Structure 1
Amino acid sequence: MLVSTGHEDPTADLVIAELNRRRVPVLRFDPGRDFPGAAVLAARTRQGGWSGTLSMGSRTAELHAVRALYHRRPSMFEPADEGQDARFAVQENRRGLGGVLGALPGCLYLSHPQAIARAEYKPAQLATALGLGLLVPETLITNDPAQAEEFCDQWPAIYKPLHAGAYWVNGEPAGIWAARVGPGEIDDAVERSAHLFQAAVPKVADVRAVVVGNQTFCARITAPPGVLDWRAEYRDLRYEPTDCPTDVRSALAAFVQDFGLKFGAFDFAVTADGAWWFLECNPNGQWAWLEEAAGLPITAAIADVLENGECPT
């Protein structure tokens, strides 16, 4: 079994420890840091798919025998310098190693890298959620200040980024959280990029729903009054396991199937009448802290999928 993730990934560590406990052989590597270098690829075409080896030091995986690949959060391929040769090498590494790993015969992917990449686009997420009957807040994506001002005048609105990428402030990593925005705060800076504005849901709580194979685990998250984005207040949150409404569970199963995923971390806003409003899906989202906080056996469920192909029913 292969685990593709960063050198420091406590979430993947939990799954690897569980697989080790089950005596499932695991080769862990980080494509962006280990290849080329510590990781050595020798792949050959054969009838039925790729054969050959991927090695890390003294450990070697036979490509044709890889039963599963856990694609967590590997480092991106980065050029060694600004030169043309370095940029060329990065693309060759990505399409060579990445291409082989994405075409292993008979391999179960949790999830396939290309499926994860497609599912990261929020416009596709929102359109799919609407098509599946989920409640979705009124949303505008624009680079037109006039449209943004009109939207924020029509609704109590929030702004949030379309991608949770790395952002640095004074040399330190920082998150860009969802924030309330009024029409008077809109200016010409909106023209510089696409912006996502959304009608604010009058929520009383949030839910993170984690889909693993054919199972769904839900934690209700209660933040202090007035907190819009619970991720900004981890120290003051309360967690409890909660049941997933049948219609929402069915929609989530269809959602991951539509995107070709085996895993998805979904965020919902819950209103006083018990309605669940879809906000987004992170196809490789975090979940480890919920195991202890809400008593959700997600590690075992992921190990079940990787070892057996599906969660037990």
Structure 2
Amino acid sequence: MILILSSKTDKGVNLVLPKLVERGLDVYWWDPGDYPASTRITSRLVGADWRHTLVTDDAEIDCSSISAVWLRRPQRPKAAKVVEDAGYGEFVAQLGRILRDGWMETLDARWFPARLNTVLHAENKLVNLAAGARHGFLVPQTTVTNDDERLVDVWAETGGRCIAKEIQLVPYELDGQEHGFYTTTLTRRHLTTRHRLAYAPVILQSRIDKAVELRITVVGDQVFTAEMHSQGSRMTRDDFRHYEGNFISYAVHDLPEDVARRCVELVRSLGLAFGCIDVILTPEGEYVYLELNPNGQWGWLEEFTDLRISEAVADWLVGEVSA
């Protein structure tokens, strides 16, 4: 069996699932966010091994039958709605997260892209920025801080050419609306409000000129590269995610062999079988590494290019599994 762990609204799963079903494979899609509210997990220690049973609304699964797990984008465990007290609800959810983590670490299967702790380690920007540099990539001058005076130093060091970005995409709610922090080019005006930097850490980097932005998706030893032509719009110039409508055009990019090799080696060095790498191709033809996301989005690239990423993901999950 192949077990997919993700929110039921995940469009990426919907691209891969039909390809698995077409091959006659036994596949189950479950969101750990349903635990412990509407799902039961029982774990028995037999000798030195755990035997897990997963019971949902429509299935009872002996977890020893699971050959591969796709850890995609699951929601966090939560208490059942009948638990009305907020404090007790958080207590229940925290216990659920602890058990979920232990269940994931002791479920014997091939994990894509990796087990949870490995994914969390790899997605940390401090970890993967240093890893990118170790693998020979050019990396922007980078400072991570919540010291407001360091902003003045970085501004001077970069000649006023610097950007600010989140250490991780963390949406927040304000006035009932979900917001996020996009990469921002800093101006002198930001120096006058730099005291706000003390509230939360931020990544400060030298601003790199872009010819195009690249989203490089690594699946095992396969590399898929898409160009994102983001510089024609003020909306997307600093951050390609900040778009409305068709402000970006896409194309398949022929990545140099040595750069592709380093991408595969980088992903593998972090213990991953998959990773989305964001790179700037400068007007001078240099490839500048920005970050790696061990569970980045790629589905929209198939809509605009002929990259067959979903097929590669399905191939990896099938592995040695037979119908």
Would you call these one fold, judging by a TM-score over 0.5?
A: yes
Q: Per the alignment, do residues 81 and 114 of structure 1 end up closer, same or farther by CA in structure 2, a change over 3 Å counting?
A: farther
Counterpart CA distance in 2 for 1:37 and 1:169 is 27
Q: Look up the match of 1:124.
A: 127
Counterpart CA distance in 1 for 2:249 and 2:180 is 21
Q: Look up the match of 1:265.
A: 276
Post-superposition Cα deviations, 1:257-303, rounded to whole Å, max 9, x if no partner, equal 22211111111111112111001111111000101212110111001
Selected match of 1:207 from 208, 214, 219 = 214
Equivalent position amino acid for 1:14 in 2: L
Q: Look up the match of 1:31.
A: 32
Q: Per the alignment, do residues 122 and 296 of structure 1 end up closer, same or farther by CA in structure 2, a change over 3 Å counting?
A: same
Q: Does 1:220 align with 2:227?
A: yes
Which consecutive unaligned segments of at least 5 residues does structure 1 have?
none
Q: Does 1:230 align with 2:231?
A: no
Give the CA deviation at 1:39. Answer: 2.0
Counterpart CA distance in 2 for 1:113 and 1:81 is 29
Q: Is the 8 A contact 1:209 1:267 kept in 2?
A: yes
Post-superposition Cα deviations, 1:134-162, rounded to whole Å, max 9, x if no partner, equal 01000111222221112113320011111
Selected match of 1:159 from 157, 164, 178 = 164
Equivalent position amino acid for 1:12 in 2: V
Q: Does 1:144 align with 2:147?
A: yes
Q: Is the 8 A contact 2:113 2:294 kept in 1?
A: no
Q: Look up the match of 2:7.
A: 6
Post-superposition Cα deviations, 1:40-61, rounded to whole Å, max 9, x if no partner, equal 2122223573324212223232
Q: Per the alignment, do residues 213 and 231 of structure 1 end up closer, same or farther by CA in structure 2, a change over 3 Å counting?
A: same
Q: Look up the match of 1:189.
A: 196
Q: Is the 8 A contact 1:119 1:125 kept in 2?
A: yes
For residues 15-54 of structure 1, the aligned pairs below 5 Å read 15-32=16-33, 34-47=34-47, 49-54=49-54
Q: Which consecutive segments of 4 or more residues in structure 1 shift more than 6 A? A: none
**Which shifted more, 241-250 or 104-113?**
104-113
Q: Does 1:282 align with 2:293?
A: yes
**Which shifted more, 236-245 or 96-105?**
96-105
Q: Is the 8 A contact 2:276 2:296 kept in 1?
A: yes
Counterpart CA distance in 2 for 1:277 and 1:143 is 25
**Which shifted more, 186-195 or 169-178?**
169-178
Give the CA deviation at 1:250. Answer: 2.1
Q: Is the 8 A contact 1:4 1:29 kept in 2?
A: yes
Post-superposition Cα deviations, 1:197-223, rounded to whole Å, max 9, x if no partner, equal 100101111000001111110001102
Post-superposition Cα deviations, 1:110-147, rounded to whole Å, max 9, x if no partner, equal 33111111112101111111111101000111222221
Q: Per the alignment, do residues 309 and 132 of structure 1 end up closer, same or farther by CA in structure 2, a change over 3 Å counting?
A: farther
Q: Does 1:175 align with 2:180?
A: yes
Kindly report the root-mean-square deviation, in angstroms, between the aligned alpha carbons of the 2 structures.
2.0
The alignment covers a number of residue pairs equal to 309
Counterpart CA distance in 1 for 2:127 and 2:8 is 31
Partner SS state of residue 164, structure 1: coil
TM superposition score normalised by structure 1: 0.92
Counterpart CA distance in 2 for 1:184 and 1:83 is 41
Q: Per the alignment, do residues 290 and 48 of structure 1 end up closer, same or farther by CA in structure 2, a change over 3 Å counting?
A: farther
